[in-house]
A = this chain, B = another copy of it.
Amino acid sequence: MSDLLERLRRRGWRMTAQRRVIAQILDGDHVHLTADEVHTRAARLLPEISRATVYNTLGELVVLGEVAEVTVDGRAKRYDPNTRRPHHHLVCTRCGTIRDVHPTGDPLTRLPADRRLGFTVATADIVYRGLCPDCGVGSTA
């Protein structure tokens, strides 16, 4: 069972069937589902769960820092349960696969103070785009 549920219980969350199902779906690495994808999967386990509940729960998990919102295109936001260590993303421009990636060093050192235009920079979101192994050179699929 996911320790996400354990952390949530400790935070005083009321445990409902809906929240259990959503937490169960948001478990594992390289998970970057849209709200509708979460809803579809949740509905297989709990047919009458509503879209509003999925949006509410995801929003609360984001506020608690238990999941991160990831925007890799102008489409639907994706929800990422891997918040233990911050990371960046590799996106396949052909099939859309998204994978977690850990660049070397602190991404902020790339941006020296004299190029920051007076900003106080806190974070860097990086999306690397290219072709995944399945879609890369030589693929005829």
Give the chain B neighbours of A126 by CB distance below 8 A.
107, 124-127
Looking at A7-15, A50-58, A113-121, the stretch in contact with chain B turns out to be A113-121
Residues of A within 8 A of B (CB): 69, 71-74, 76-77, 90, 92-93, 99, 101-105, 107-108, 110-112, 115-133, 136-137
Q: Which residue in B104, B111, B137 is a CB contact (below 8 Å) of A112?
A: B104
Within the assembled complex, what's the spacing in Å between the Cα atoms of A130 and B69? 17
A119 touches B124 (CB 8 A): no
| CB nearest neighbor in B for A111 | B103
Assuming the contacts A92-B119, A101-B116, A110-B107, asked whether A127 and B128 have C-beta atoms less than 8 A apart, the reply is: no
